[in-house]
Amino acid sequence: MVDIGQNGPMPLHPQIEAIAASMPIHSFEEMDVDDARQAHAAGAAGRPKGPDMADVSEFVIGGCEVTRLQPKNADGSAVVFFHGGGWVLGSRATHDGPCRHLAARSAATVFNVEYRLAPEHPFPAAHDDAVEVTRALLLGADESIDGSRVAVAGDSAGGNLAVAAALALSDEPASLAALLLIYPALDATMSTASYLEFADGPFLTASDMAWFYDTYAQGTDPRDQRLSPAWAAKLDGLPSTLVITASHDVLRDEGEEFARAMAAAGCDASASRHVGATHGFFGWSHAAAPSRTAITLAAGWLSETLS
């Protein structure tokens, strides 16, 4: 099922609009990569930490540094989480808050992954990291979790990596139980209608996405399924999936179309469009009701799917 709420023009939610208006305007393609990373990190630094955990530990899993967030109500299930930031920006620190909320509300232990970033490590480095970390956890790299109750999740570029890892592992004996995609970037051709509708934002623009793809992909065929899961030839091996989209987002249509394609292939897949929200809203639970609604939906779905 794809729940897209209302159709046609709609206003931004007032709290989302206030947050978007308060943020500095950045044109990433005109910035040095280090400056872009600092600006992105500064935007996340002022947000509340999120719920306390029973245990916070750091490990190296599948060649990547990983922070394990174990909630007080941990039930043995797990979520492997890949942060957004266009494969160029972001870190475990920028997404610590949302990961803590998902852990506390779902009872799953969340593994927040520090994968390699472009341009220092161009495609397919981040893809390969996502596959290796996920495979390692499915095969028992952490004895505190049940390998049969593992989800993979991510927002934006992290959603891309989550799907790509699920596709790469779909034929392996150890299988994923769930896939949570938060406004995922799935199609490097950037050809859906929402790219035209929201080319100038708010928050994320079409030119931002072009810069991210250029910096990460560096000439890779935009239809390579490791880069563009929307072009995957086979979807029927993917696990139960929830796609969360924002109404005012260039990535909206490709996420919802992917859920439809999965359902047509016989997968258990659904999408939920959050009306009045922009790209990035999932991380604004301290100040925006739509974010809290989305986190509640995502955590509840994880809890039910991984039970």
Query: Which residue segments constitute the domains of the chain, with CATH numbers given?
Result: 2-305 (3.40.50.1820)
Q: Give the CA radius of gyration of the chain.
A: 17
Could you read off the pLDDT of 247-276 as tens digits, one per residue? 999 999 999 999 999 999 999 999 999 999
Kindly report the number of other CB atoms within 10 A of residue 146's CB atom: 15
**What is the CA 161 to chain-centroid distance, rounded?**
8
Q: Reply yes or no: is the peptide bond before residue 124 cis, omega within 30 of 0.
A: yes
Q: Which of 86, 45, 53 is nearest to 213 (CA)?
A: 86
Catalytic site includes residue 249: yes
Strands 240-248 and 269-278: parallel
Determine the 3-state secondary structure of 153 from DSSP: strand
Catalytic site includes residue 127: no
Residue 53 to residue 50: CA distance in whole angstroms: 9
Could you read off the pLDDT of 37-55 as tens digits, one per residue? 998 999 888 888 899 999 9
pTM summary value? 0.96
Catalytic site includes residue 146: no
Residue 298 to residue 306: CA distance in whole angstroms: 12
**Is pLDDT of 73 > 50?**
yes
Determine which helix (DSSP H) or strand (DSSP E) holds 164, and give its type and residue range: helix 157-169
pLDDT confidence band for 9 (50 / 70 / 90): low
Q: What is the mean pLDDT of residues 88-111?
A: 98
| Catalytic residue from among 106, 156, 194, 285 | 156
| Catalytic residue from among 249, 270, 272, 291 | 249
Kindly report the number of other CB atoms within 10 A of residue 3's CB atom: 12
Phi, psi of 257 (to 5 degrees): -65, -35
Determine which helix (DSSP H) or strand (DSSP E) holds 298, and give its type and residue range: helix 289-305
Q: What share of the chain is helix, strand, coil (3-state, %, to 5)?
A: 40, 20, 45
Phi, psi of 58 (to 5 degrees): -115, 135
Could you read off the pLDDT of 170-219 as tens digits, one per residue? 999 889 999 999 999 999 999 999 999 999 999 999 999 999 999 999 99
3-state secondary structure 196-235: HHCCCCCCCCHHHHHHHHHHHHCCCCCCCCCCCHHHCCCC
Residue 288 to residue 232: CA distance in whole angstroms: 35
| Catalytic residue from among 272, 279, 285, 291 | 279
Residue 205 to residue 190: CA distance in whole angstroms: 11
- Tell me the average pLDDT of the chain: 94
